[in-house]
Amino acid sequence: MYSFARRPKEALKEAREIIAGCIGASPEEIYFTSGGTESDNWAIKGTAFSGRERGRTVTSAFEHHAILSSCRAIEKLGYPVLYLPPDDDGIISADCLENFITKDTRTVSVMYANNEIGTIQPIGKLAEIAHRNGALFHTDAVQAVGHVEVDVKKLSVDMLSASAHKFNGPKGVGFLYLRKGTDICPYVDGGAQEGKYRASTENIAGIVGMAVALKRSCEEIEVRKAHLQHLEYILLDRLNQYGFDYRRNGKGEHIPGNLSLSFKNADGEALLHRLDLMGVSVSTGSACNSKSTELSHVLTAIHLPLEYAYGTIRVSLGYENTEEEVVYIADCIRKILAPKLMKRS
């Protein structure tokens, strides 16, 4: 109640208003968390535990592990979970959910955009099917918020997860949108913060940083999108000119700047390390340990042929990347892979 505490209180209020405004929500529907993982855990566990019966959770087989591991955790406690298969283009179709949803479904959770292959899901249609069947709908929008227009009211979702570091905000902070009246248990018990739903002293600096970053990203969405799509075009065009046998994974609309590329008969892990030595940081679609190379659950779920799957890298371009940089990436890939390809022919 003392005067100098008013400033952080005001900052918190303003940040909540800014974030709500960016996604079409009301300020009291925004709950601050420590990031996407916590928001996802809360949505899955909080709605499972608040149901009167042990209702089913329906999710997809290619979610982020924040969702998949939360689902495994509730399964261990006796809550049934069903995993929808994406099609080979990386989409969970409305027909797929329509075929699998059951009347005892408590929550449907499908990610807005896949983090490995960038495909955008038909969230509005999926939410409508969930509601028609009496279920709640959650979307993990960690890859989408700040990158494409997201409006919770237009989409008609009950819950939505977001994470600040994905839109150039600070690490270790995020939020969960909870539609007013959504039946969910508190995630952290303790003090009265976040309407008693998520106790613990708020990370004011992180929350303010998140609000500023989201506001900037949303104001520039169209400009950044056009720039990133142009960079994607340049990169793919170069790779085509060089005659590589490769696939861009996922069809339809993608998150701008997310390119999952699979080079036939290449070694994605080796490509990652060679690119790193050349100053280019990418991820791969497989994880190596000393005994085996394991393909990611996403590439497995979309049935990518093995001769392509093991040669997968993910290039995540940001709005500060330039045309020269993507040309450099393509040239580096050529330097690394071309001799190998020549040897084979």
Active site residues: 288
- Of 269, 286, 276, 267, nearest to 337 by C-alpha is 267
CB-nearer residue toward ligand PLP: 111 or 299 = 111
CB of 337 to ligand PLP, least distance (A): 27
Residues 93-132 that bind ligand PLP (CB under 6 A): 111, 115
Interface with ligand PLP, residue 337, by CB under 6 A: no
Residues 190-229: x where in contact with ligand PLP by CB under 6 A, - otherwise, as a string: ----------------------------------------
Residues 127-156: x where in contact with ligand PLP by CB under 6 A, - otherwise, as a string: -------------x-xx-------------
Locate 303 and state its tokens: 């049935």
What is the rounded CA–CA span in Å between residue 270 and residue 337? 10
CB-nearer residue toward ligand PLP: 132 or 171 = 171
Q: How many CA atoms lie within 13 A of 239 on its CB side?
A: 23
Interface with ligand PLP, residue 296, by CB under 6 A: no
CB of 118 to ligand PLP, least distance (A): 10
Strands 293-295 and 286-288: antiparallel
CB of 7 to ligand PLP, least distance (A): 27
Interface with ligand PLP, residue 163, by CB under 6 A: yes
What is the rounded CA–CA span in Å between residue 92 and residue 304? 16
- Of 286, 281, 292, 245, nearest to 267 by C-alpha is 286
Element (H, E) at 140: strand 136-140
Task: Candidates 90, 118, 174, 256: give the one binding ligand PLP (CB under 6 A).
Answer: 174
Task: Tell me, rounded to whole angstroms, the distance of Cα 20 from its chain centroid.
Answer: 19
Count the residues in the chain.
Answer: 345
CB of 66 to ligand PLP, least distance (A): 4
Residues 16-55: x where in contact with ligand PLP by CB under 6 A, - otherwise, as a string: -------------------xxx--x---------------
- Position 45: which residue type? K
Are 53 and 80 a contacting pair, CB within 8 Å? no
Residue 221 CA: distances (Å) to CA of 25, 147, 228, 320: 18, 6, 10, 13
What is the rounded CA–CA span in Å between residue 58 and residue 137? 10
CB of 110 to ligand PLP, least distance (A): 11
CB of 166 to ligand PLP, least distance (A): 7
CB-nearer residue toward ligand PLP: 42 or 263 = 42
What is the rounded CA–CA span in Å between residue 305 and residue 201? 49
CB-nearer residue toward ligand PLP: 90 or 174 = 174
Task: Tell me, rounded to whole angstroms, the distance of Cα 243 from its chain centroid.
Answer: 31
Question: Which residues bind to ligand PLP, rule: CB under 6 A?
Answer: 35-37, 40, 64, 66, 111, 115, 140, 142-143, 163, 174
